Amino acid sequence: MSKVEQDLEELSELAVKEGASRAKGIDTSLIVVDDRVQLKCRYPPCINYGRNLMCPPYTPTAKEFREILQNYKYAIIFQIDKSINKKVQDYLKKKETNLLDLTKDEEFVELVLNEGVGNEGAEANRIITAIEREAFKKGYRLTLGLTTGPCHLCKECDPKNLCKHPWEARPSMEAVGIDVSKTAENAGFKIQWGTKESMNLTALVLID
């Protein structure tokens, strides 16, 4: 086993120790970047578009990120399995839809902010930070994490001012144009877009 392979294995084990349901090191050739992913942020317009520093148009475009990605060879991909909060479950059943379809519903987003779905965004960010810290110690000083879903570290983001949580806040994979479904499938992970009872969330840490 090469040093890089061993490091990726140890970083994957760290992710699981920190709370990830599963994690593995992958080659960045498995990461799929598609301009249409960011297009979905705009049409129909997501309520976070232009209102959150970790979302478009404040993040790199898919084209820009595709060029950035060429400088990375490895990544850690991990997932968090979560049961959905009972109040959120009831809302989903009332609307007779799934979690993904409600990400642009203001009433739903307010409910998630107040009740949470297990605080998965903050949990993913914490795992990312742990991986970044350990990777830096191993000599990978340009390691960069991408979280799951829009940033909710603040109840309301003010994009006209500096981020209040610069050490924890991260853009999502989708925010830079990554096709999460295809990337997860390429990595051998099952992807489940929010049923009424549970969901699995995917995050990524680029290693270099």
Distances in Å between the alpha carbon of 9 and those of 1, 2, 131?
Answer: 10, 11, 12
CA distance 12 to 187: 13
CA distance 162 to 181: 31
Residue 82's closest CA among 205, 208, 207, 196?
Answer: 196
The contacts of residue 194 (CB under 8 Å, 6+ apart) are: 84, 92, 98, 99, 100
Task: Provide the CA 192 distance to its chain's centre, in angstroms.
Answer: 14
Residue 83 confidence class, pLDDT cut points 50, 70, 90: confident
Residue 118 confidence class, pLDDT cut points 50, 70, 90: very low
Mean pLDDT across 187-198 = 75
